[in-house]
């Protein structure tokens, strides 16, 4: 079958790119042909706006990414986009509703899969009802949500969005969510029952990423990897505390600073490659992160880690993930209360094996695939 995937835009988000890569790999291993419709928020940029941004930057010693032009952001994300171009089958980027409508009307798909990532969060998804497949009129087309995420345990839809989502969700063949809280959101607001499944990166499993890892062996380097999406004094305190408790001084940062300095070349802030991002986690002694997919890859590669909670970005995803694996000890609310967590990797890996089987069976049954006999890792 030719399967169209709708997820978050593929740009500078390591986890977002890797979950889409993973879902495509699993679908191909099941004998199907996946294509991601790479939907982006519309971009309205002009020479006048770009000039205004440059002038404002000259007046500030430091500034954030809101003062970067679209082309400058693409330059910073060029390493991630290179991975997308090499490893992900996609149509796009699709920047407007009219282009999206044209693509889905002129391309023959046998099925659509919505997910994963925060594709069911209205503020992140252009035209949220498209992510409930409102454009699919043919009853023969299979409609699936795999590990769709609301990103929060609060309902963020307007009443009109809720009404439309409820109507279209009830036409799905199968629905699954990434966070446990999503089950109740689906039941209460959409009137549907959803299955709780793994993020696609865990569905693919660690073997699906080892080819991207340099020096992947049992002799890990003595460094602490960090992947922190927020800059804060509290995060700095946690880093210093981990250095003290682990007696490791070397820090390898997987994310560039979000504070840009005036007159400093953008090349200094260019993001590292996807391969380096994975390798830095896989070969580390310890990881400090505030990212859902940072924690996911630490679990996959059995790297001890701590997750810094952040109320602004939302903690539901992290709490759901770590409670699933019974490692809530890795959650960290503040630097003052920090301690090194303990991990029983044998139990964690066995639980991952069980959950992978459950999640793979959900996808298999949804696509009416008869056998997983040739799927690696089972």
* Structural fold of domain 215-343: Rossmann fold (3.40.50)
| Conformation bin of residue 240: beta by default, left when phi > 0, alpha when psi is -120 to 50 | alpha
pLDDT band at 246 (very low <50, low <70, confident <90, very high): very high
pLDDT at 335: 59
Token pair belonging to 331: 């959650």
- How far, in Å, CA of 232 to CA of 328, rounded? 22
Signed CA dihedral, 282, 196, 27, 161: sign only: negative
Contact 170, 189 (CB under 8 A): no
Hey, do 2-204+351-367 and 215-343 end up sharing a CATH topology, with the first three levels equal?
yes
pLDDT at 324: 97
- Residue-wise pLDDT for 19-44, tens only, equals 999 999 999 999 999 999 999 988 77
- Residue-wise pLDDT for 144-174, tens only, equals 999 999 999 999 999 999 999 999 999 999 9
Q: Residues near 190 by Cβ (< 8 Å), separated by ≥ 6?
A: 162, 165, 166, 169, 170
Question: Within 64-136, where are the H helices?
Answer: 70-76, 78-87, 97-106
- Pairing outcome for strands 260-261 and 62-63: antiparallel
7-39 CB burial, b ≥16 within 10 A, e <16: bbbbbbbbbbbbbbbbbbbbbebbebebbbbbb
- How far, in Å, CA of 378 to CA of 373, rounded? 8
pLDDT at 305: 97
Contact 307, 325 (CB under 8 A): no
157-174 CB burial, b ≥16 within 10 A, e <16: beeebeebbbebbeebeb
Residue 93 preceded by cis peptide, ω within 30: yes
Contact 10, 116 (CB under 8 A): no
- Residue-wise pLDDT for 185-241, tens only, equals 999 999 999 999 999 999 999 999 999 998 755 566 799 999 998 878 888 889 999
- Pairing outcome for strands 260-261 and 286-289: unpaired
Would you list the domain boundaries of the chain? Answer: 2-204+351-367, 215-343
Q: Residues near 167 by Cβ (< 8 Å), separated by ≥ 6?
A: none
Q: Please say if the pLDDT value at position 334 is more than 70.
A: no
Average pLDDT, the chain: 91
The DSSP code for 66 is G
SS3 349: helix
The listed CATH number (1.25.40, 3.40.50, 3.30.1330, 1.10.287) that belongs to domain 2-204+351-367:
3.40.50
- How far, in Å, CA of 152 to CA of 179, rounded? 9
């Amino acid at each position: 079958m030719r399967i169209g995937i709708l997820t978050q835009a593929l740009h500078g988000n390591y986890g977002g790119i890797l979950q889409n890569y993973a879902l495509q790999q699993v679908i191909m291993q099941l004998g199907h042909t996946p294509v991601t419709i790479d939907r982006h928020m519309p971009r309205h940029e002009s020479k006048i706006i770009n000039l205004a941004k440059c002038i404002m930057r000259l007046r500030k010693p430091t500034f954030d990414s809101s003062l970067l032009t679209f082309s400058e952001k693409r330059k910073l994300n060029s390493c991630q986009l290179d991975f997308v171009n090499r490893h992900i089958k996609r149509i796009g980027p699709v920047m407007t509703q009219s282009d999206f409508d044209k693509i889905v009307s002129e391309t023959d798909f046998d099925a659509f899969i919505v997910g994963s990532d925060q594709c069911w969060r209205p503020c992140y998804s252009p035209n949220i009802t498209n992510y409930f497949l409102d454009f699919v009129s043919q009853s023969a087309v299979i409609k699936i949500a795999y590990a769709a995420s609301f990103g929060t345990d609060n309902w963020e839809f307007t009443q009109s969005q809720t009404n439309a989502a409820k109507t279209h969700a009830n036409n799905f063949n199968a629905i699954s969510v990434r966070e446990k809280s999503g089950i109740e959101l689906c039941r209460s607001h959409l009137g549907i029952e959803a299955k709780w499944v793994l993020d696609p990166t865990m569905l693919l499993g660690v073997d699906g990423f080892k080819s991207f890892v340099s020096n992947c062996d049992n002799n890990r380097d003595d460094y602490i990897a960090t992947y922190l999406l927020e800059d804060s004094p509290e995060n700095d305190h946690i880093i210093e505390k981990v250095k003290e408790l682990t007696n490791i001084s070397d820090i390898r940062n997987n994310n560039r600073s979000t504070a840009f300095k005036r007159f400093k070349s953008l090349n200094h802030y260019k993001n590292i490659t996807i391969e380096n991002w994975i390798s830095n986690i896989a070969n580390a002694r310890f990881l400090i992160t505030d990212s859902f997919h940072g924690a996911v890859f630490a679990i996959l590669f059995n790297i001890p880690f701590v997750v810094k909670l952040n109320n602004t970005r939302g903690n539901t995803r992290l709490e759901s993930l770590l409670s699933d694996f019974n490692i809530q000890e890795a959650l960290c609310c503040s630097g003052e209360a920090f301690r090194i967590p303990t991990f029983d990797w044998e139990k964690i890996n066995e639980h991952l094996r069980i959950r992978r089987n459950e999640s793979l069976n959900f996808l298999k049954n949804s696509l009416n695939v008869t056998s997983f006999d040739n799927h690696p890792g089972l």
